[in-house]
Structure 1
């Protein structure tokens, strides 16, 4: 038996589908299937059987899991310890960011990581806070940047940024930045917002409900890019942090007015799963995120209060 075969076997046994195991391990599904088949041929027994929702361990598979996985865990701990003793971060780290942040600083984070840590690998995923939280809880992400309203009870979180929220207007109404707008005015305009799966949307709903106000919601879209395009075409207005639209504002394609309400903001946090070992590479990514966050706020690409040193 090879270490790689046992690693694939362990992952499939724990997530109970070949497709999810492939995503978690960052390899193709045929590659996992081939390794499992080779392992079964080597042992002369079937390790999994298929059912409607995925796969489950056979009796032989359960015996192998009970015997081999503790040894795998010990070996992984030794490898991890040796990697941590290395003078340079190595290994793979997966991070998820919402659209509000990834468009502003995602590429800068990746570029800095590639330059500073050539022996390590960074995987970057984009999605709404709800989806990123699911991936984090499913061990498909090492770090997630989330809006605080979407954090889970089994997450360790560190505040990053309290983002101001802006009313985003069509260019026919305003080009560039304009004066602050009252919450009462926001209540009246037709709004195009992300779905409640978005942590940003949940933050907006929370503030409006706390002030006894409603939303004149005309469209719900799962795509930030589509919402911006619709606002540019004067279909409606949006409520976003400034970072999402800073390029369009600079080009005069959209307008932005800060919403004049003290609690009209959304708090971004970094989240990791409780009990997850924090590697040197994860710490390196976190440091890059903090540096880029300060840079973007100083450049006024992000608007709000930085909550990290």
Structure 2
């Protein structure tokens, strides 16, 4: 579906108050494409409640596919890819610049990097690409 089609449906969305990354990403794409968000029927910041609201038929949502894989596999939710420039996000591992990384922090960062690369390589992170 295109972004305009996705936005035309009643939406269950994360709240603006908490600057949720998905909402911010969608709103940026909306401005970039000169579109408008339609009716937001519910704002909630819990992913579990958000998915439950969609499953209950309260509205639709826009979220990363990997957050709903179990519900999709179970047949409880249906997902459609949204074709729109600007609907990507970059995740990174951040640390304090003024504090040297301990050996444990370095090991944990490497483990996270390895797990993400493995998940992207085998398709466990739908749409994910590791650099």
- Could you tell me the TM-score, scaled by structure 1's length? 0.40
CA distance in 2, matches of 1:245, 1:186: 17
Cα distance, 1:269 vs structure 2: 1.7
**Match of residue 25 from structure 2:** 203
Determine the C-alpha separation between the residues in 2 that align with 1:203 and 1:276: 31
- Determine if contact 1:246/1:301 at 8 Å carries over to the other structure: no
Distance 1:265 1:218 in 2: 24
Structure 1 residue runs without a partner (length 5+)? 1-180
- Does the Cα contact within 8 Å between 1:190 and 1:236 map onto a contact in 2? yes
Aligned residue for 2:59, secondary structure, equals: coil
Per the TM alignment, residue 303 of structure 1 is displaced from its structure 2 partner at its CA by 2.5
Match of 2:9 in 1: 189
Alpha-carbon offset, residue 209 of structure 1: 1.3
| 1:278 CA displacement | 0.9
Quote the Cα distance in structure 2 between the aligned partners of 1:304 and 1:273: 29
Q: How far does residue 305 in structure 1 lie from its aligned partner after superposition?
A: 4.3
Q: CA RMSD in A?
A: 1.5
Contact 2:28 2:86 in 1 (8 A): no
Task: Tell me, yes or no, if the aligned pair for 1:242 and 1:303 is still in contact at 8 Å.
Answer: yes
Question: Partners of 2:6 and 2:41 in 1: how far apart?
Answer: 13
- Residues 111-130 of structure 1: matches in 2 within 5 Å? none
TM-score between the two structures when normalised by the length of structure 2: 0.89
Rg larger for: 1
Give the deviation of 1:231 after TM superposition: 0.4
How many Å apart are 1:210 and its aligned residue?
A: 1.2
Which protein is richer in strand relative to its size?
1
Runs of 4+ in 1 over 6 A off after TM superposition: none
Residue 297 and residue 307 in structure 1: after superposition, are their counterparts in 2 closer, same or farther (change >3 A)? Answer: closer
2-side partners of 1:262 and 1:292: how far apart?
A: 27
Q: For 1:50-69, what aligned pairs fall within 5 Å after superposition?
A: none
Please state whether the residue corresponding to 1:256 is helix, strand or coil: coil
Q: Kindly provide the CA deviation profile for residues 220-247 of structure 1, in whole angstroms up to 9, marking residues without a partner as x.
A: 1011100100101111001111110011
What is the aligned counterpart of 2:70 among 210, 231, 247? 247
Contact 2:25 2:86 in 1 (8 A): no
Aligned residues: 128
Task: Tell me how far 1:187 sits from its aligned partner.
Answer: 1.8
Following TM superposition, by how much is the alpha carbon of 1:306 offset from its aligned partner in structure 2, in angstroms? 2.5
User: Following superposition of structure 1 onto structure 2, how do residues 73-84 of structure 1 map, counting pairs within 5 Å?
Assistant: none
Aligned to 1:287: 110
SS at match of 2:68: helix
2:129 corresponds to: 306
Task: Give ranges in structure 2 of 5+ residues lacking alignment.
Answer: none
Cα distance in 1 for residues equivalent to 2:48 and 2:123: 21
- Deviation digits for residues 153-172 of structure 1 (CA, Å, limit 9, x no counterpart): xxxxxxxxxxxxxxxxxxxx
